[in-house]
Structure 1
Amino acid sequence: MFRSLSLTAALVAVSSLVLAASKDEPAYNPGPNKADEPAAKSFSLEQAGKFLDHVGSKWTSDRKCGTCHTNVPMMWAKPALKSVSAEEKNVRKFFEERVANWDRGQKGDAPRWDTEVIVTGVTLAIHDAKTTGKLHPMSETALNRMWKLQKPHGAWNWLKCNWPPQEHDDEFGAVFAAVGLSLAPGGYAKSDTAKAGLEKLRNYLTKTPMPSLHHKAWLLWASARLDGLMTAEEQQKTVQALRALQKPDGGWSLPSLGAWEGYDKRENDTKAASDGYGTGLVVFVLREAGVSKDDPALVKAVQWLKTNQRVSGRWWTRSLNTDRAHFIANAGTAYAVMALDACR
């Protein structure tokens, strides 16, 4: 009996020590996106996951909207890390509740822009593809609503905030939608609901020149699963154009993928150093296009990614628009995770 009591007391003491230690452990805070953040001592996908959870959850709770630079790519990248965090669940819940409440008739519930409908449907559909493999009813509802907003020429009225590369032109909205449709589970792209709209989108994308290699890369991504978006020759030319921009250190840079003038009107530096967004996106898209993970260019790029992570878990990317927040680094980190997963 006394031995049993001693063991119980010991277990209680150990538990108390563990709880005390966990309380003393500082909460994870990556701080702002900064170019001079120190490099990580060692590569860590776990740390990248913490970063994505933090920025995705914080943006969602603070801004109450979905954005292509933070909580959207977070939802695409997190499934690659296999464990589902509370933050990922909460962001998923936010997107689903937006759809459920769109027609409730309450102030602030209706979609603020057509872009919101497209972003929500695509985000949920891709998350479905990477998790359950089944199209969730809320995902399908958002995708179906997207067709009601499609313009006769096949694209949508996308946000044009002069924030390249994503909130800048209708062409990006079209390729963004195409990527989502290419990945939507359950054969959604072949459904009667999607058939007419998808044909109009195909027509738009085949007749409208993409204004940047960045957008062509997204179109290449979509064309890996959706027929009729690019010819084999166009796909190969895009692959070659992306390969040609690889830097000697193995990475790519976002500014090199387009000739943009951003929000602050500064000159686009096409010779900028390699960054997380450019490297992550290009590596991932090349893998989607069928380039082997053992290709020397991709092997070198993976090495760049593994040696250029920062202590917070993020990969640095400078904003094309302002030097205030560099939110594009959040997307760059998500694409880096997706690229590394694609090259396992």
Structure 2
Amino acid sequence: MTRIHSFAALLILVLILVNNSSAQEKSPAFQYRFKNASIPSATSNEPKAAQFSSNLVKDHLDLGATLWAKQKKCVSCHTHGIYMLTRPALTPYWGAPSKETRAFVVAQAKELRENNDRTGSLPVQMAYIARGLAAWDSQFRQQTSTEADAALRHLFEMQAEGGHILVKDRWPPLNSSTYHGTAMAAMAVANAPGWLANLDDAELLAKIDKLKHYLRETTPKNDHEGVLLLWASTCMMDLLTDERQQSLVDMIWKHQREDGGWSIRTFATPESLGGGKRTESLRAEPDYQNPSSDGYQTGLVVVVLRDAGISADHPRIKKAVKWLLSHQRESGRWWTRSLNTRSRFHFISYSGTAYSALALAKCGALATTSQSPE
């Protein structure tokens, strides 16, 4: 009996150590870090900010982009892709983004072209690069730069025969959806100032027509993709009919939560987000049947609805703005739990923070000084 008890005690100790180790793996000390500079880990239990601070958001986004470039030395959709897409438009509130960040993205785009690798998530990465450089040009140049032109042309060299930007099943929602990559490519084309209007390359124009055809005729496999389709249609004016746009707006309203926010988890079934064990893990989440609102989906949806012409004075938009102002965390971010159930870093929280800041700006609620939630 003594040996049995000893074995049982040893087994319990091992389980405790394993659980403690697992818990530590799920809660890294930092989300971004390089040398002595860092951003703390993104966690669901991070305290909310006592009052909303625009400057905290700015510092969080600018530092995150800088640290990722120095630490990882690659353009990621969740950090630089979203940063370049959103940050230029926030210049009236925070000043211009770092030229060094743009230079880093341009250098990475050149490396992708020279390597001519079209595998994995690289096509959607190039779509985000082109979209970000187009956003930069729209804010600061009013004409398409040679760097953005090169990125757009390489993007369409990566286009699949069916007109889409093929993305392998990897990390949802940014790196697992062909529809996502294709919608981003459409927005890159439409937002590059003067690029499409002055384009006289018949082969490239035909590829753009194929891209439009794919988006029009391919049914989104989930409502998150539907949100991106609506967004693309707000800048590529001939993409959808008014009736189709309105149906997508109606779909978005149906997902709004009682507290005024939205949750990425109601916009897609686990099966539509990719294969592997992710589906099983997502269905096992404690709040699977009633997920909480999150910063990513709330910020994204408000941006898209505003671009679709919904007034900032709409009662449901005002309710969403109130949610955003009252759910900032002490680090400056908005929390979103990753759909990649093995993730320890929850980088989608960074993406959501950028979208939330842009959403507040589009609603006239992004003050440059601290303000209390309504």
Query: Same fold, TM exceeding 0.5?
Result: yes
Query: Which of 232, 248, 271 is matched with 1:222 structurally?
Result: 232
1:336 corresponds to which of 337, 341, 356 = 356
Q: Distance in 2 between matches of 1:270 and 1:334?
A: 27
Change (3 A) 1:341 1:246: same
Deviation for aligned residue 1:270: 5.6
Residue equivalent to 1:213 = 223
Partner of 2:267: 257
The verdict on how the C-alpha distance between 1:299 and 1:204 changes in structure 2, with shifts beyond 3 A counting, is: same
Contact 2:82–2:128, Cα closer than 8 Å, also in 1: no
In terms of mean alpha carbon deviation, does 192-201 or 113-122 score higher?
113-122
Aligned equivalent of 1:33, options 31, 39, 42:
42
Which deviates more from structure 2 when the two are superposed, residues 319-328 or residues 329-338?
Answer: 319-328
Per-residue deviation at 1:120? 1.9
> What is aligned with 1:311?
330
Q: Is the 8 A contact 1:49 1:81 kept in 2?
A: no
Number of aligned positions between the proteins: 312
1: CA distance between counterparts of 2:267 and 2:289? 8
Q: TM-score, normalised by structure 2?
A: 0.78
Following superposition, the deviation at residue 103 of structure 1 comes to 5.6
Higher mean displacement: 124-133 or 141-150: 124-133
Q: Which of the numbers 283, 288, 292 marks the counterpart of 2:302?
A: 283
- Pairing partner for 1:178 from 186, 200, 205: 186
Quote the residue 1:267 is aligned against.
282
Structure 2: which amino acid aligns with 1:274?
A: S
- What is the root-mean-square deviation of aligned Cα atoms in Å? 2.1
Q: CA deviation at 1:100?
A: 3.7
**In the alignment, what sits opposite 1:326?**
346
Structure 1 regions of 5+ residues with no counterpart? 1-26
CA shift in 2, pair 1:58/1:336, >3 Å? same
Q: TM-score if structure 1 supplies the norm length?
A: 0.84
Offset of residue 157 of structure 1: 2.2
1:330 is matched by which residue type in structure 2?
A: Y
Q: 1:98 aligns with which of 104, 108, 131?
A: 108
Deviation, structure 1 residue 210: 0.6
Matched, 1:199 2:219: no
Residue identity (%): 35
Instruction: Measure, in 2, the Cα distance between the counterparts of 1:77 and 1:171.
Output: 20
Q: Alpha-carbon deviation of 1:92?
A: 0.7
**1:166 counterpart residue number:** 174
For 1:96 and 1:54, the matched residues in 2 are separated by: 19
Matched with 1:22 is none
Structure 2 unaligned segments of length 5 or more: list them.
1-35, 365-374
Paired residues for 1:16-31 under 5 Å:
29-31=38-40
Report the residue type matching 1:70 in the other structure.
Answer: T
Secondary structure at the counterpart of residue 195 of structure 1: helix
1:59 is displaced (CA, Å) by: 1.5
Shift of 1:277: 0.5
Counterpart AA for 1:169? S
Q: Contact conserved, 2:77 with 2:125, CA < 8 A, in 1?
A: no
Counterpart of 2:322 in structure 1: which amino acid? Q
